[in-house]
Amino acid sequence: MKAFNTFDADLRRNLLVLFTAGLLFWTSTAAFLPTLPLYIKDVGGSNQEIGIVMGGFAIGLLLFRPMLGRLADRHGRKLVLIIGTTVAAIAPFGYLTLTSIPLLFWLRIFHGISIAAFTTGYSALVADLAPVAIRGEIISYMSLTAPIGLAIGPAVGSYLQEASGYSHFFLLCAAVAFTGLLCALQVINPPLITARSSEHQNSNFWQILVSPRVRIPAIVMLLVGTSVGAVHVFISLFIKSTEVSFNGGWFFTVAALSSFTIRVFAGRASDRFGRGLFITFGITAYTLACLLLWQANSTNAFLLSAIAQGCGGGTVISMVTTMMADRSLPQERGQIFAICMAGFDLGIAIAAPVLGYVAEIVGYRNMFGYSTALTFLGLLIFLTLSNKNLPSSLRFALGRGEDAFSLNNVDVS
């Protein structure tokens, strides 16, 4: 992390406070992954209803992220950080009091605003602060909040829920998120850049979405998000159904440790070898993770799948974020991030109810076979369509060529 030593004291402090807020936010949010599906099942929800309620989170993401992206560009990143942590602190009190499946669905939509706001503001702020030459390294280091939170939250949350029940679990999540809010209030917002070039001043949601620099990453993130959503929602129930002695919370912890390890190296390497190679690696890892789940019948199989899942999470999200930072101007960066990640959000929203229905018919194991096919399709699309033509796409995706849409190489429209 030598890059941080080159920053002045105020910038280092700002990054440290931001990192702490992110760590607390992700710890609180990730704790729900293994525990909430079990809670929904315990209050009488079917597999499909579990998928519907869990999918509500992604609906909240999908509906509000574009608006929050514009808000971040026009009124500053700090505002959306505060919105995200505030919602994360309030939502657990809803779970504490509600047992109705329809009400839990609406609460889950509300809870989804937390990630829509926090991740949009956080990613845009880090990209604003990071020098271009070491952008991949800084974004990867700062994105470590997610795997660390995923390592701590599910393990501690599962243990607390088993030892003390759901009430103590929800109260702990609220307390952690509130502490994150206190940290977010200390973040110093950089000056807003409001001047727009004539090429970008009239850009709206659909113009940005259909532009070549955003369209293919959004489609790839849609396919990956569908697969990731299936794992996040159903892995604990699948493990339980196999009767393998392996806690669902530990799956997320192992994945997080794997994600942490690879992020330490991937960001710095991407500044040298390009973002495409690491995105390709990450999608391949996600495909392998689902393939292993499809065949899993032992603790070792689940461990290997978790490691592969972590490798995918440690590269795809941070490298796509860095790639979109390369492809955007500061004054549109919030919208670009929000729209690209909306593909991921939509995938998760689709995964929960649709693959929940599939699981009812073919079982959890075969459902992960479908997830394998989806991520493999995403890999093929990225290899062949990520740049202006097939040869340049292959070169970029395999680390042999530059990104034709990067603002360091060409002006985009």
Angle between helices 212-242 and 299-326 (to 10 degrees): 160
Contact of 53 with 108, CB cutoff 8 Å: yes
pLDDT at 360: 82
pLDDT of residue 183: 93
pLDDT at 193 over 80: no
Least confident of 81-90, 130-139, 225-234, 318-327: 130-139
What is the spatial distance between Cα 52 and Cα 234, in angstroms, rounded to a whole number?
12
Structural domain includes residue 402: no
- Which pLDDT does position 2 carry in this prediction? 55
In a domain, residue 408? The reply is no
234 domain residue, yes or no: yes
The pLDDT confidence band at residue 198, using thresholds 50, 70 and 90, is: very low
What is the DSSP code (8-state) at residue 252? H
Residue 14 has pLDDT above 50, yes or no: yes
Query: What pLDDT band is residue 192 in, cutting at 50, 70 and 90?
Result: low
| Mean pLDDT for the stretch of residues 353-363 | 83
| CATH number for the domain that contains residue 373 | 1.20.1250.20
**Is residue 113 domain-resident?**
yes
Quick one: pLDDT at residue 4?
A: 53
User: What domain range includes position 276?
Assistant: 2-189+205-397
Flag the least confident range among 200-209, 226-235, 323-332, 385-394: 200-209
pLDDT computed for residue 173 by the predictor: 93
125 located within any domain: yes
Q: Tell me how far apart the alpha carbons of residues 317 and 50 are, in angstroms, rounded to a whole number.
A: 25
For the residues 147-152, what does the mean pLDDT come to?
A: 81
Q: Is the pLDDT of residue 334 over 80?
A: yes
Give residue 199's pLDDT.
45
Model confidence at 293, pLDDT cuts 50, 70, 90, reads: very high
What is the Rg, in whole angstroms, of the alpha carbon atoms belonging to the chain?
A: 20
Using an 8 Å Cβ cutoff, are 151 and 260 in contact?
A: yes
pLDDT of 131 above 50:
yes
Average pLDDT over residues 306-329: 88
The per-residue pLDDT for range 75-98, each reduced to its tens digit, is 888 999 999 999 999 999 999 898
pLDDT at 383 > cutoff 90: yes
As for how many domains the chain has, the answer is 1
% the chain with pLDDT above 70 = 92
